Structure 1
Amino acid sequence: MPSALIADDEPNLSAELASRLTRFWPELQIVAMPRDGVQTLAQLNEKRPDFAFLDIRMPGIDGLKVAQLASDVRVVFVTAYDAHAVEAFETSAIDYLLKPVTDDRLMRCIARLQRQGAPTQEDAAAVAACIQRDATPIRWLTVGVKDATKLVSIDDVLFFQATDKYTEAVTADQRHLIRTPLKELLPRLDSDRFAQVHRGVIVSYAAIDRVERDLLGRMRIHLLGHDAVLPVSRAYAALFKQM
């Protein structure tokens, strides 16, 4: 029975990926889900999985270094950043998935893993094409609604807000929970249309009505047609320095 390890410092993302892998590849056994590079190396040495799905930016030792140190395991990188793709393939990675990973992209990765064998030039070219396509800004969000899946256009999102475990994508009349953390969502958004204004908030420029300062100099964003008032932290105040 094939086995896999999933390493990510966000346990909710590891759990979601494990669930989807199990759904699309029932024979695959998930043997460990470590949260940092040191734990990952230890679990790789102990469990000896066939495959390792590694985040790149992890505490301790990053995923690229883990891949260099690991042996007898086929590596798939799962990350929000496309900038490390060349380094990833220098470690003989089999695939490179950009978060948020679509079902179609994940199934193509599984098909590649099931073929076994070393990566070919054709595999590398196919993955490079996928990375180029996946690196384009997100146009749709896939959200769960009870037992169904719904597509939400990125054009309808007024702002994203971090919660304890998830991220809320807020439209004019609804709040949708998505599992992707803000730090991994931000690189996939069009920077001409969205900006991070607080550690826990990303806002659509088109949704901003006005930015006001209180007596203490703190900035607050008021939205068009929505009663939410969003904080602007000092680190991002320069975005509105002309106001």
Structure 2
Amino acid sequence: MNPRALIADDEPLLREVLRRRLAELWPALQIVAEVRNGREAIEQVRLLQPELCFLDVHMPGLSGVEAARQIAQLPGRQTHLVFVTAFEQYALQAFEHGVLDYLVKPVTPTRLAETVRRLQARLDYAQAPVHSEQLLQQLAAQLARAAGEASPGLAPLRWVRATVAGALRMIPVEAIAYLRADTKYTLVAWREDDGSSAEALIRLPLKELLAQLDGTQFVQVHRAVVVNLSLIQSVLRGDNETAEILLKGRPERLPVSRSYLHLFREM
């Protein structure tokens, strides 16, 4: 009997990419369900009892980790879990030791192929899934720290991962000119080594990204905008307690709202 899998992610495009790449790497694998959140994942695992479940860590409502804790308690066949996360820059002990499987967004074919090989071996040798409550609790705490929700002593982020023209890029934070919120995504604008401008959308809310940056270098100037102070060329004051920022080597004028105008009183 061919193995079966469930994909849980609130983004249809990301589900489609993962499904397509799994079909290329593991033709025998059947995707029996695709769901949008943790609660739907629990229900479909209960009904279908798939051998595998790919869980996005950050989904609206019930997170992937919380869904995993409930899936582990379901009766019947146990399911191997693969977490999909946007965070790789901080050590996640449960992942590092190979106890739990994970994929980092954007999911690359090479990394997915490694995960597929491990999963195939576990199924071939009938290895039981690891559903340690202690590990899942530890994972939840570590992911919270990675998201900037705790542990203020963590080192500031040095690189931002983004997909540009189908290729994974590692963008040094010092090259980032500004960040702009775009619903649940963030637009990253930076300068290339040759001085040209570049932009990319990453699947991480601005609030979570800001929490990982050096607060002496990046400041929020608007509810939807964060700028790199070292790349500010000038600040133009308006007539209604607002202002606009001009950046070095970029044409945009970024808004400064009244709440953040105090940052530039001396400029």
TM over 0.5: yes
Q: How many residues align?
A: 227
Where does the alignment leave 5 or more consecutive residues of structure 2 unmatched?
A: 147-154
Residue aligned with 1:60, SS: coil
188 and 215 in structure 1: CA distance in 2 versus 1, 3 angstrom threshold: closer
Amino acid of the residue matched to residue 222 of structure 1? L
Q: 1:170 aligns with which of 159, 184, 189?
A: 189
Q: Is residue 143–residue 151 contact of structure 1 (8 Å, CA) maintained in 2?
A: yes
- Once residues 55 and 207 of structure 2 are traced to their aligned partners in structure 1, the CA distance between those partners, rounded to angstroms, is 14
Question: What's 1:143 paired with?
Answer: 163
Question: What's 1:225 paired with?
Answer: 249
Q: Is residue 162–residue 168 contact of structure 2 (8 Å, CA) maintained in 1?
A: yes
**1:104-123 → structure 2 map (5 Å cutoff):** 104-116=110-122, 117-118=127-128
TM-score, length-normalised on structure 1?
Answer: 0.68
Question: What's 2:149 paired with?
Answer: none
Cα deviation digits, residues 110-131 of structure 1 (max 9, x gap): 22222212468xxx9xxx9xx9
55 and 187 in structure 1: CA distance in 2 versus 1, 3 angstrom threshold: farther
- Once residues 16 and 190 of structure 1 are traced to their aligned partners in structure 2, the CA distance between those partners, rounded to angstroms, is 29
Amino acid of the residue matched to residue 240 of structure 1? L
**1:36 to partner: Cα distance:** 1.9
Question: What's 1:61 paired with?
Answer: 62
Question: What's 2:20 paired with?
Answer: 19
Q: Is residue 168–residue 175 contact of structure 1 (8 Å, CA) maintained in 2?
A: no
- Once residues 97 and 152 of structure 1 are traced to their aligned partners in structure 2, the CA distance between those partners, rounded to angstroms, is 17
**1:43 to partner: Cα distance:** 2.0
Amino acid of the residue matched to residue 229 of structure 1? R
Where does the alignment leave 5 or more consecutive residues of structure 1 unmatched?
A: none
Amino acid of the residue matched to residue 96 of structure 1? Y
- Once residues 54 and 207 of structure 2 are traced to their aligned partners in structure 1, the CA distance between those partners, rounded to angstroms, is 16
CA RMSD for the aligned pairs? 4.1
Question: What's 1:215 paired with?
Answer: 239
**1:182 to partner: Cα distance:** 3.6
Deviates more, 1:7-16 or 1:190-199: 190-199
TM-score, length-normalised on structure 2?
Answer: 0.63
**1:238 to partner: Cα distance:** 8.0
**Structure 1 segments (4+ residues) deviating >6 Å:** none
**1:226 to partner: Cα distance:** 0.9
Amino acid of the residue matched to residue 19 of structure 2? A
Matched, 1:191 2:214: yes
